[in-house]
Amino acid sequence: MDKLVNLTTQDGVAVITINNPPVNAISPGVPEGLVAALDAAEKDSSARAIVIIGGGRTFIAGADIKELELAASGRGSGPPKFHDILARIEDSTKPVVMAIHGTALGGGLEVAMAGHYRVAVPDAMVGQPEVNLGIIPGAEGTQRLPRLVGVAAAVDLCVSGKPIRAPEALKLGVIDRVIEGDLLSGAVAFARELADKGGALRKTRELSDKLGSEFVDASIFAAGRDQARKTRRNMLAPLKVVDAIEAAATLPFDEGCKKEREIFEECIASDQARALIHAFFAERAVAKIPDIPKETPVYNIRQAAIIGAGTMGGGIAMACANAGISVRLKEVEQAALDRGLATMRKNYENSVKKGRFSQEVMDQRMALIHPQLTYEGFDQADLIIEAAFENMELKQRIFGEIDKIAKTECLLASNTSTLDIDAIASVTSRLGMVIGLHFFSPANVMRLVEIVRGKATSKEVVATALALAKKLGKVGVVVGNCWGFVGNRMMLPYMREAQFLVEEGATPEQVDRALTNFGMAMGIFAVDDMGGIDVQWRVRQERKHLEKPGLRAPLMLEKLFHAGRLGQKTGAGWYRYDENRKAIADPEVHALIEKTAAEAGIPRRRLSDDEIIERCIYIMINEGAKILEEGYALRAADIDVIYLTGYGFPGYRGGPMWYADTVGLKKVRDRIAELHAQHGEFWEPAPLLNRLADSGTTFAAWDASREHALAAV
Ligand code: 3HC
């Protein structure tokens, strides 16, 4: 086996290669290996300079997040310290060139910045994404980055957490040269040039010309804090990272590093860091399905066909085209097809205007989408996705038709958001090839795809769906086949409870404000208005036969529907909308709510924001616990990923199930039991929640214990 760090020489240059697959994280042993290799390289009189490079697919993708997880949870020996290794690199007596391919992220970029020079291949990415984990750069990145790129660019890179490509990094001054062709040869040649030139070595920590002046910097820091508050609502780390960069601009390097360390330690000890680190690993765990090994063969999806060019079908077509998959897009009427295409074109044009990609890229993507009114070419498709209305009869008719046309090895997928995938599959002659692919609107943007596994769906088809989600840049979460699957099944009681709250005395805007203050991307009533009151109403009609007589049912949905207040599309729903689609509280709705409550004999009272949050969020958690026990989600963490990537749940709370753990399951269960006593059946505590609460454990612990059991499947 290779050592974590190897030393070789090439053309009179020592080459230090880090070999810690898959992403060369700075795990224990790597810093030690680097020090040993640097010592040896300096002693080697045949080596005039040093190149540090990553083995495999990348440079260093950062500190080892497993180590950070231990530190965040108070286990392990505290947050990793990198000062000594960085100083060792920077104080090297021979020029050190960092050769970057893949990614240099977080600690990876911080190590790179301790080198005297940096080179990279054109498609390499560099960045400080630590805020995505609820922390700040903790290896002197907030001190070296502004010295290389200036205060404004450093604030932007650290607050946004967004990586940049090599050409932009070159412009900003993060790197010194882009290497076309072989990276190692280019880096070695560059290192030789430096050695030939001689002279003092450039140490990043000694640079100061880009640090600006107190007067100019003050407005940059103020703007950075504004950016943090706006784009990272309620989050600690994006604000704190500005403090650390301010220290770089105002304090000597060593003192700035001390300040960075204090802030780093404060952030890593926060609930937000624990939640976001949980989310990082949860997002990667979802693709691991116990009975579907990594080596399961997958179908190659080169050509897709989509039925329905509405909002969903169009969005899915764009997602496919963005990933280079050619798509046939079928509608029943020319007008609908034209509308769908016009929307797609407008979306792409907006992206071009915003500089996200060029006109040429847009043209290539549009050229991959083939609009049509017939099934022509569907016999060539590797995947057909039905994105028609949410109606079982219609979906079954479509599946009957495509089953006759599609080639044997073609996957048949439904974009249903609630319906029984087995019932849809039952009309086909290929139960194993049928799967649910529940995309979220707008499908070209939203990252979540619920992959609904029917009782006969083959393992190869599930594995293909997971691979496809990855190819589309999305997160595929495998769920079982129950009404609404995981996301919408939990959404139903959430929406119902929100309606009860307004009947009992809250206003839609109070509920929405409480939810957005809690961190939800949007309030539930704003979501309802965006999706359409008629859509909710239709869902309710389909499920009405399941409602138990005598059980409380929400009243307002019917009232809004019959008043023609269908949401944003009619300019009014729970809110009124101005010409810019801005939601405005509507006294008419308040009056309608009060009248409805009075007619139903529901007493109205003042509700606190705490009660609103508890009733909206705990009802979801309780449903989540039922879903888990019934086996429709594999792990509590899968539910978290669904809510984080598809339903606007705040990342820094880790998802609903993680949030429940942080509140304490006993506390959550006891409050649910209280609400059960007050409001009846809907609030009956889920048996799993009861058991976990009684035994003083957590959903995370339940996941961990099940992981062992599932591994044995
Ligand atoms: N530490 C530990 N494991 C890591 C890791 C890291 N920094 N980065 C990725 N991994 C693991 C993943 O968990 C995954 O493991 P698995 O196969 O067992 O599930 C494996 O590497 C592959 O990762 P991805 O599936 O994400 O691979 P991709 O090719 O899709 O993406 C990547 C690669 C862009 C590097 C992506 O993994 C990524 O963004 N990683 C995190 C980068 C990051 O946030 N770095 C900063 C860390 S914090 C830090 O450095 C603090 C410092 O300032 C002190």
CB 267 within 8 A of CB 273: yes
Residue 709 confidence (pLDDT): 61
Q: How far is CA 35 from the centre of its chain?
A: 36
DSSP string for residues in 497-542? HHHHHHHHT--HHHHHHHHHHHT-SS-HHHHHHHH-HHHHHHHHHH
Q: Could you confirm whether 547 is annotated as catalytic?
A: no
Who contacts 338 (Cβ-Cβ below 8 Å, separation ≥6)? none
Which one of the listed residues 67, 69, 90, 110 is annotated catalytic? 110
CA 86 to the chain's CA centroid: 31
Q: State the first-to-last Cα distance of the chain, in angstroms, to the nearest integer.
A: 30
From 141, 369, 146, select the one nearest 260 (Cα to Cα).
141
Q: Which of 26-30, 213-217, 504-508 has the least mean pLDDT?
A: 213-217
The alpha carbon of 609 and the centre of ligand 1 are apart by a number of angstroms equal to 37
Q: Helix, strand, or coil here: 232?
A: coil
Extract the tokens encoding 10. Answer: 């090439």
pLDDT tops 90 at residue 172: yes
Mean pLDDT of the 165-173 span: 98
Nearest CA to ligand 1 atom 12: 284
Q: What is the mean pLDDT of the chain?
A: 95
Q: Is the pLDDT of residue 626 over 70?
A: yes
652-669 tens-digit pLDDT: 999 999 999 999 999 999
Selected residue with higher pLDDT from 243 and 705: 243
Half-sphere exposure (Cβ direction) of 666: Cα atoms closer than 13 Å: 4
Please report the DSSP string for 593-660 in residue order.
HHHHHHHHT-------HHHHHHHHHHHHHHHHHHHHHHTSBS-HHHHHHHHHHHS---GGGT-HHHHH
SS3 of residue 207 by DSSP: coil
- The preferred substitution site among 4, 20, 23, 157 for testing ligand 1, maximizing ligand atoms within 8 Å of CB, is 23
Ligand 1 atom closest to residue 57's alpha carbon, by position in its atom list = 29
Mean pLDDT score, 37-54: 97
pLDDT at site 686: 98
Give the confidence band of 713 by pLDDT, cuts at 50, 70, 90. very low
* Largest Cα span, the chain: 92
- Taking alpha carbons only, the member of 156, 112, 105 closest to residue 133 is 105
130 catalytic? Reply is yes
- The beta strands (E) that lie in 271-341 are given as 303-307, 326-330
CB contact set of 572 (below 8 Å; sequence gap of 6+): 565, 586
Helix 636-646 to helix 487-504 angle, to the nearest 10 degrees? Answer: 70
Closest atom of ligand 1 to 280 CA is: 13
Report the separation in Å between the CA atom of 61 and the middle of ligand 1, taken as the mean of its atom positions: 6
For residue 333, how many other CB atoms are within 10 A of its CB?
A: 10
pLDDT tens figures, 478-532: 999 999 999 999 999 999 999 999 999 999 999 999 999 999 999 999 999 998 9
The closest-lying atom of ligand 1 relative to the alpha carbon of residue 110 is 53
How many other CB atoms are found less than 10 A from the CB of residue 643?
27
Q: Read off the pLDDT of each residue in 438-467 and give the average, rounded to a whole number.
A: 96
State pLDDT tens for residues 239-260: 999 999 999 999 999 999 999 9
Q: How far apart are CA 564 and CA 613, in angstroms?
A: 29
Q: What are the pLDDT digits (tens) for 546-573?
A: 888 888 999 999 999 999 999 999 999 9
At 598, the pLDDT band (50, 70, 90 cuts) reads very high
pLDDT category, 348, cuts 50, 70, 90?
very high
Distance CA 532, CA 495 (A): 13
Q: How confident is the model at residue 541 (pLDDT cuts 50, 70, 90)?
A: confident
Asked if residues 690 and 629 have their Cβ atoms less than 8 Å apart, the reply is no
DSSP 381: -
Residue 539 pLDDT class (50, 70, 90 cuts): confident
Model confidence band, residue 477 (pLDDT cutoffs 50, 70, 90): very high
Contacts of residue 110, defined as CB under 8 A and 6 or more positions apart, other chains included, come to 82, 86, 128, 137, 139, 140, 141, 144
State what percent of residues in the chain have pLDDT above 70.
Answer: 99
- pLDDT computed for residue 531 by the predictor: 87
Distance CA 48, CA 223 (A): 45
pLDDT tens figures, 75-123: 878 888 999 999 999 999 999 999 999 999 999 999 999 999 999 999 9
Residue 712 has pLDDT above 60, yes or no: no
Identify the pLDDT of residue 1.
41
For ligand 1, atom 42, the nearest C-alpha belongs to 61
Distances (CA, A) of 234 to 294, 581, 660: 38, 25, 19
pLDDT at site 708: 59
The minimum-distance atom of ligand 1 relative to the CA of 137 is 53
Quote the pLDDT of residue 30.
96
pTM confidence score = 0.95
Distance of CA 205 from the midpoint of ligand 1 (Å): 27
Q: If you measure from the C-alpha of residue 268 to the centroid of ligand 1, how many angstroms do you get, rounded to a whole number? A: 17
Average pLDDT of span 264-287: 97
Distance 293 CA to ligand 1 centre (A): 21
> Which residue of the set 67, 90, 130, 614 is catalytic?
130
